[in-house]
Amino acid sequence: MADHKKRFEIIIQKLRENGQKITPQRMAIVKILAKSTGHPSVEDIHDEIKKDFPTMSLATVYRNIVLIKSLGEVLELGFPDGRNRYDGNKPYPHPHVICIKCKKVIDSNLGSLDDLKDEVAVETGFKILNHRLDFFGICSNCMAEKV
């Protein structure tokens, strides 16, 4: 089964287990999050779904993301300019590489930061639960386009 199909099933299953109803709108949102290779914003998701559900409300997208986030099945990437983006395909912390020109967000396949995490825990006395690592730069496309 394709990766995003599997993720879709996992998230739907988890929703069921938590007594949530499976509505068509909810399924549409989960479907996009399960793929989410492009790290869509709430508006991206809303626009995409409006093709099938012209009455889909933005509030519904927000509500469902909060819900799915609370189940640990989507990763939220917040940015200072207030355009959060989401990854429901790999909901665990992993490095992202972000183009500051075209705003593309891609995944990196770097190894884990467990060693660093342990160092930080010892150094600070924190119980570390989570982390986030982003690299910012310019992608090869945007580099080629520079005038």
Partner DNA sequence: ATGTTAAATAAGAATAATTATCATTTAATA
Partner DNA sequence: TATTAAATGATAATTATTCTTATTTAACAT
**Could you tell which of its own copies, DNA, none binds residue 145, using a CB distance below 5 to 8 A set by kind?**
none
Check if the beta carbon of residue 18 is closer than 8 Å to that of residue 71. yes
CA dihedral 11, 14, 15, 16 (to 10 degrees): 130
Give the CA distances from residue 116 to residues 2, 52, 82, 112, 129, in Å, rounded to whole numbers and listed in that order: 33, 45, 29, 9, 13
Q: Which stretch binds DNA (CB under 7 A): 81-89, 93-101, 112-120, 138-146?
A: 81-89
Q: Which one, 53 or 62, has the nearer CB to its own copies? A: 62
Considering only residues 42-71, where is the footprint of DNA by CB under 7 A? 42-43, 53, 55-60, 62-64, 66
- Using CA atoms, how far apart are residues 69 and 83, in angstroms rounded to an integer? 16
Residue from 54, 80, 92, 147 binding its own copies (CB under 8 A): 80
Say whether residue 84 binds DNA (CB under 7 A): yes
Amino acid symbol at 73: E
Q: Is 37 helix (H, G, I), strand (E, B) or coil?
A: coil
Min dist. Cβ of residue 55 to its own copies (A): 27
Binding-site residues for Fe cation, in ranges, read: 131
Q: Which residues are annotated as a binding site for Zn(2+)?
A: 99, 102, 139, 142
